[in-house]
Structures are given as C-alpha cells and as structure tokens.
Structure 1
Amino acid sequence: MPPHDDLHTIDGDVYVSPRYLAATTAIGDPGLAPLLDLGWDLEHDDLGNAYVHAPDRKVRLGYLPEGEDDGLWRINAYQDPFGPPTWGVCFNNSCPTEFVTAFTTALAEAYEQGPNAYLATPKPGSADRDPFLAVVPLINRGWQIEHPRWGVFAIQSADGLAGLEFTTGRLDPEAELTTRDARWQLWAGTSIERPAWYATASTDTPVALIKAVTECVSDPAPLPRWREETYSYVEGMAQLTRVIPPRPSAPTPLDVQRAAARRPAALPASSVPRWSTTSRSALPGPRR
C-alpha cells in the first residue's frame, strides 16, 4: 500500500500494480492544478476543451477531450510567444493522470526558476542536462536495455509491458509536435505499435521534466482505481489489491479527557437503583 495515501480520501477500491497499467482516471483537475496554483490563466472553448497559459504566454497547456486526435494533453513552451514552439509534450487520452501531474508539477517548479530552467535544452555530457539522466530512474528500478537497433535507444520494464524509446539522428520538428515521431516516446501495453497509452516529448524538452515522468512511471507504489472501470483493461496483466477500509483511530488521552468533560454530572449513588440476583421480580399489576 502506498505509504502517503490517506485512506479516507482514496479515489478507488483497488490498487493496481504495476502502476503503468492503471490507465487514466478521466479527471483533468489534478494535472491542471500545479499550473493553476501559480495563477496561470484558464480558458474554455465551446466544446469543453481547457487551455492554460503562463502569464508571459511562453508556456501553454491544452486539455483537449474534444480534440482532433487522441492527444488529450498537449504542452508547449516558446522562446517567443509568437514563434514556433521550442518544445512540445503530449500525453494521450489513456495515460494515467498521475504521470501528467508529475510533469506539470515539475514544469511549475521550472517556470518559477525562469527560462533557464523551463527552456533548458538537453546537452549530452552535461552534469544536469544529459538526456541519459531521464533514463536513470528506470535503470535503477530494474528496467532492461533492449538489444540496440539502428537509430533508437530502447529500455523496457522487467515484464515487458512498458517501455521508453529515444530516437537519435535528425527529426522533423513539426512532426515531433503533431505525431508520435518524436525524440522521446514512453508507452505501456503489449506493444509500442498499439499501446494502451503513450506519451511523447520533442527534442528540446528539458531533461528534468522528462525525468519527473520516468520517476513517477517506475515508482513501485501502486495506484488506486475503481475496479469496474479498469479491470477489463488490466485483466491478466496487472495485480489488483483491495483497498482496506479505514480503521477508526485509537483515542488519544486528550480525546478521552474531552469526552469525559462532555458527560453530564453523575447522580448521587443512593439515587441509582441497583440490580442484584436477590431482587424480587415486579408484582403483576391489577387486571382490567
């Protein structure tokens, strides 16, 4: 059971493990919250899509349940708010919401640090910008590097049901922002060709933001879900553990003291009738 969960507020009746098989919660609020907490602007269109903008318009998020494709979450950052995106990230409509929240939380922290953080271009060999740093959490948690193939570095979870691919060489910047042909692709399911969910990140996405997602994806703690909404998806692949109902907490000495203070004053002992084995039963009353 995850140590940080409050059993009184868990949204689900089972825990799903491994967490990358938990699917989406279909609730966008947790992913939007880290940016809205910074005072970013929130707008909606007539279809029900939501758009969040940084005050300087250099970072934009779209939550697009009525979008043109399955890219539910699209986040772009800009050197020039009127120019093309510097980097772009996409989470599809089946991606666990917790992974999106991990990204937006890291993005909010980077934005507060300034452009040198949220526009930090990856730099191989750098102490803090090397793309390999985003892979380290996966390696540390037992993911295995696949047999190398031309132009792609790939690593998979031990069960083969999740993976990360990093494409080397030159890519089309526009295609990276609008298709799955991006520098980074994270996925879960039985194959990358038809994944249960996926997330992509373009070439210049800061490594720290990608690392926040790989840290969250590979976390061994399970995620809570409602069984009837997820079981058909994870059947035969994931482990489901029933969420234990909360037990009433033991009263503290202060609780006992307060309860005693709320009780009415006791009556004199002489006025309280006592029962004993020698007491006579009540006599029958007169019959009508």
Structure 2
Amino acid sequence: MTPESDPRFAIDGDVFVSPRYLASTTGIGDPALAPLLGLGWDLQHDDLGNAYVTAPDRRVRLGYLPEGEDDGLWRINAYKDAFGPPAWGVCFNDRTPTEFVQAFTTALAGAYEQGPDAYLARPDARTDEHDPARAVGPLFQQGWEIERRRQGIFAVQSPDRLAGMEVTTGDLDPEAELTTRDARWHLWVGKSIDRPAWYATASTDTPVALLAAVTQCVSDPAPFPRWRQDTYSYIKGMAHLTPILPSEPSAPTPLDLQRAASSRRPAALPPPSVPRWSTTSRPALPGPRR
C-alpha cells in the first residue's frame, strides 16, 4: 500500500470520535461547497466573509454565513420560481459536523443533475421513492428507537439518548419553517433538545432523498477524526476518543536491502603496487657520491 492510497496519511486529527454525531465541526466549509462548485455553480462573497452559491438555473441557493445574524451557518433553499418564495429550505447550525452538510450537498448535486423533478420532488407516502419514512430508515437500521409519543410529533432517539430526530405532523407556518427551528424535520444532538450541541432543520417539502443522505451519514458507525483540543467539552465521558496511531513503516524492498548492505561494506584498499603519497612523508635521502 502506497502513502497515496493509505487513508491514514489523509487523516486530519489525532483522535477518532465515536459515535460520529458527537464530533465537533471541522470549522472548514470547503468540503461541503465542493460538490456544488464542481457542477459550475456560481460563488460570490460579501464584505463580511459570507459565501453565496447559486445554481446555474437560479433555482437553488446556498448561503455559508459565518457572519450571519444567528447561528444558522448553512442555509440552502430551492425555488420552483427563481423570483418566488422558497419551495423548501434546510438549515445546519454553526456546530454541525461539516461531513453531514457535505452529505446533503453531495445528494443535492446528484439531484440537480437529474433535473427539477428530483431536487423539487415533494415527500409522498404513496410512493416508495418519496416516502418520508425513507429518511428515518437509516436511523432504525442502527438501533435508534421511537421515543415516547407526543401529540403531533413523531420522534426517534439514538441508543445513547444523545441524538434525536423529530418530525412534526399537522400544518406549520411556511415562513417560520425557513427562519426558526419550528420546521417539519428537526435533527439534534446533545443532552437536551432545548439546548442542543448542534442541530439541523428541514421544511415540509424537502426531498426525502436529501434528508436520507444526512440520516445515513449521521447513523454510520464509522468514527470521525478530530483534534482532541477541538472536541466539545459536552462530549467528555460520553463519546469514545481513540488515539489515531502513526502509520506503520513499510517493509524494505530488495533494493533497500542491497543499498544497506553496500553502505556497511568497507572500502577496498588500493593495490600494493601503486605508490601512496602522503604529505607527511619525509623527503628521500640523497644517494652515495660516486
């Protein structure tokens, strides 16, 4: 295995965090922007350092807002009419692991390539492809369980009770879904839903395939690499931190062994018939007079 193909050489961190939803944000937005920029989406910046990415057809817009008015770091909206209100909106707050946002934008890029029927597809329980239950399925497959039922809310929680997803039933205010946490879908992590470590929301008509991409990533049992000093204090005693060991040295090749043997072999002495000059030699004595 070469260094280029060994994933340990690309790890950015000194510990693995498990379960992964307890990992901190990487603090870098580039991985989540890359799937959309790879399709030629337009990237603009404002004077504050916020970034805005717009699809070529102007029907999907992403805002990366480190200097926004609230903690909604990532806001993605889609439009049936480029000049009308959003058809759906998704928000990830500023402490959400970047990998989860990247899972969403990767799925969004794939849906965009398929056309508006994919990235504007409304959830529909009558079809297998757009059944909202698909978004919860990956969580159930990893042992998440239905929480105590509450009026108008369907909720599931992780086995350690430190992560949950809520789906609100009934009518909701479309504007509030886009600007507050009162949205149809609410994914959160922490000791309390009222004070989560991080959260993500999605409005009523968000395509199920995009939501399922996030829950699939969240429920994946593989850990995330992080720097120990950057992990959140709230995960102490809750998450498993495993040191990332340095890579093992590669086995020497036959050429390496040959070179090593050559370096240990003493240098050959010159033949005896060849006179050796020394700057410390005394000058020759004069011969007898004739």
- Confirm or deny a common fold (TM above 0.5): yes
Deviations 1:153-203 (A, max 9, x none): 000000000000000000000000000000000000001111000000000
Deviations 1:55-103 (A, max 9, x none): 0110000000000000000000010110000000000001011000000
Q: 1:242 to 1:231 in 2, by over 3 A?
A: farther
Partner in structure 2 of residue 58 of structure 1 = 59
Q: 1:272 is matched by which residue type in structure 2?
A: A
Deviations 1:217-245 (A, max 9, x none): 00000100000111523211111000011
Q: Where do 1:151-230 residues align within 5 Å?
A: 151-230=152-231
The whole-number CA distance in structure 2 between the counterparts of 1:144 and 1:86 is: 31
The whole-number CA distance in structure 1 between the counterparts of 2:58 and 2:178 is: 18
The whole-number CA distance in structure 1 between the counterparts of 2:254 and 2:33 is: 42
The whole-number CA distance in structure 1 between the counterparts of 2:93 and 2:267 is: 74
Q: 1:131 to 1:271 in 2, by over 3 A?
A: closer
Q: 1:270 to 1:77 in 2, by over 3 A?
A: closer
The reply on whether 1:272 has 2:273 as its aligned counterpart is no
The reply on whether 1:92 has 2:93 as its aligned counterpart is yes
Q: 1:224 to 1:5 in 2, by over 3 A?
A: farther
The reply on whether 1:133 has 2:129 as its aligned counterpart is no
Structure 2 residue matching 1:7: 3-state secondary structure: helix
Partner in structure 2 of residue 18 of structure 1 = 19
User: How far off is 1:256 after superposition?
Assistant: 3.8
The whole-number CA distance in structure 2 between the counterparts of 1:202 and 1:55 is: 23
The whole-number CA distance in structure 2 between the counterparts of 1:271 and 1:239 is: 56
Structure 2 residue matching 1:80: 3-state secondary structure: coil
Q: 1:142 to 1:271 in 2, by over 3 A?
A: closer
The whole-number CA distance in structure 1 between the counterparts of 2:54 and 2:219 is: 29
Partner in structure 1 of residue 285 of structure 2 = none
Larger Rg computed on CA atoms: 2
Q: Which moved more, 1:241-250 or 1:214-223?
A: 241-250
The reply on whether 1:49 has 2:45 as its aligned counterpart is no
Structure 2 residue matching 1:111: 3-state secondary structure: helix
The whole-number CA distance in structure 1 between the counterparts of 2:6 and 2:182 is: 37
Q: 1:122 to 1:24 in 2, by over 3 A?
A: same
Q: 1:122 is matched by which residue type in structure 2?
A: P
Structure 1 residue matching 2:24: 3-state secondary structure: coil
The whole-number CA distance in structure 2 between the counterparts of 1:215 and 1:45 is: 33
Q: 1:27 is matched by which residue type in structure 2?
A: I
The whole-number CA distance in structure 2 between the counterparts of 1:20 and 1:30 is: 17
Root-mean-square deviation (CA, aligned residues, Å) is: 2.1
Percent identity between the aligned chains?
Answer: 70
TM normalised by structure 1 equals: 0.87
Q: 2:178 is matched by which residue type in structure 1?
A: L
Query: Retained in 1: the 8 A contact 2:61–2:77?
Result: yes
User: How far off is 1:127 after superposition?
Assistant: 1.1
The whole-number CA distance in structure 2 between the counterparts of 1:78 and 1:250 is: 56
The whole-number CA distance in structure 2 between the counterparts of 1:45 and 1:102 is: 26
Structure 2 residue matching 1:164: 3-state secondary structure: strand
Q: 1:23 to 1:270 in 2, by over 3 A?
A: closer
